[in-house]
Structures are given as C-alpha cells and as structure tokens.
Copies of this chain bind each other. A is one copy, B any other.
Amino acid sequence: MSDANSLDALIQALKRLPGVGIKSAQRMAFHLLQHDRAAAQYLARALQDACTLVKHCELCHTFTEHSVCATCMDEKRDHTKLCVVETPADQSAMERTGAYHGLYFVLMGKLSPLDGIGPHELGLKKLFDRACDGEVQEVILATNFTAEGEATAHVISEALKVRGIKPTRLARGVPVGSELEYVDLGTIAHALVDRR
C-alpha cells in the first residue's frame, strides 16, 4: 500500500485480530494514523498492560489481575453451586440475569476436536478437581446450546457422573443453535429456574 514498512507491519498486525481481513485492517490503520493517533497510542499501552497484568483466577480460571478473582472471593455468594460457562462474556450474561448467586468455572473455550481442543487442552481436570473439592454440591452446565457447547456439556456430565456428581443443565428454554451471550436475559433466567 505504501513505501512505509511500519505501516505495512501495522496492517499485518491488525489482520491477526479475529474477524479482521485485509480491507478492514487497511481501513483501521488509515483511520488510526490519519485521524486518531491518540487511539493508536492508547491501544498500544492497553495491549501491553493487559498482557502484563491479566492472568487466570486459580479457582474459576476466568481473567483477573489477582490470584483469585473478586467473584470467587465474594463471601456472600453461594459456594455450594458451580456454574460452568465457556467464556467471561457468558459469565457476564449469567450475572446480568440476577438469577444466579453461586460461583463459576469458566472454561475459556469449548471442546473442538477439529481444532485439536480435547479435554486435556481445555484443562477439564481443573474443573473436575474443583467440582470434587467437597464444598461444591451442585454443578450447573451453562455451555452454549451449539453443537460444540452441547458436546462439551455431555463430556463434562459423563466425567462428573463417574466421580459421583450428577450435574444439571440449563433448561432448553434457550433457543437451540444460539450463543448464550446474545440471548435475552429473561430467557436465560427462565432456563436457570427450569434447569434439569
């Protein structure tokens, strides 16, 4: 696009963002350099800070800057319930229903054999250890109602049954084929009450 190598490098770097193709990357680079260099500098700093500071909660595996996240540390929550979700965005959707007051385990992904993500890569052992720690009495599977989310729930369910735990699943009030973070909150709240 130019004789500026640093501009070409920026376009290539932006293209590595999910959902960003070459045209979008060019437009982003043009916008940042022509109209909003402050945003570029801000993004550069934000990326570095996040890479330095963000790690995983030792208990629930979600993103946090601390060894244990604020949710897991909250004494007022019901520590006997553990809700398994795929991502922090899904956890956030559960929270916004106001219908759940237990703890979470955030898988930070889902089983996806075609991408080489099996139970080991997803770190399911950590979930099983957590579910069997004696304090947890109910595990609620709230993975997405997609093919991969259902398969993930099934594998976790079978593994927990072997360990003497019978998990519940969000009721099928959630439209099949949809992703949790896009579902309206009333539907999620209903599905939580009707969990089976």
| Interface mask (A12-51 → B, CB under 8 Å = 1, otherwise 0) | 1110111100011011111111101101111111111111
Are A53 and B18 closer than 8 Å at their CB atoms? no
- Closest residue of chain B to A12, judged by CB? B46
Chain B residue nearest in CB terms to A36: B16
A93 to B171, CA, bound (A): 53
Distance A45 CA – B10 CA, assembled complex (angstroms): 9
Checking B33, B40, B50, B88 against A63 with a beta-carbon cut-off of 8 angstroms, the contacting residue is: B33
Given the known inter-chain contacts A16-B39, A33-B63, A34-B108, please indicate yes or no for A47 contacting B10, CB distance below 8 A. yes
A13 pairs with B51, CB closer than 8 A: no
Min CB distance, A122 to chain B, in Å? 11
Q: Which stretch of A66-74, A127-135, A185-193 is in the interface?
A: A66-74
Chain A residues close to B by CB (< 8 Å):
1-7, 9-10, 12-14, 16-19, 23-24, 26-34, 36-37, 39-54, 62-66, 69-71, 87-89, 92, 108-109, 181-182
Q: List 7 A-B contacts (CB under 8 A).
A: A2-B88, A13-B45, A14-B46, A16-B36, A26-B88, A33-B63, A40-B50
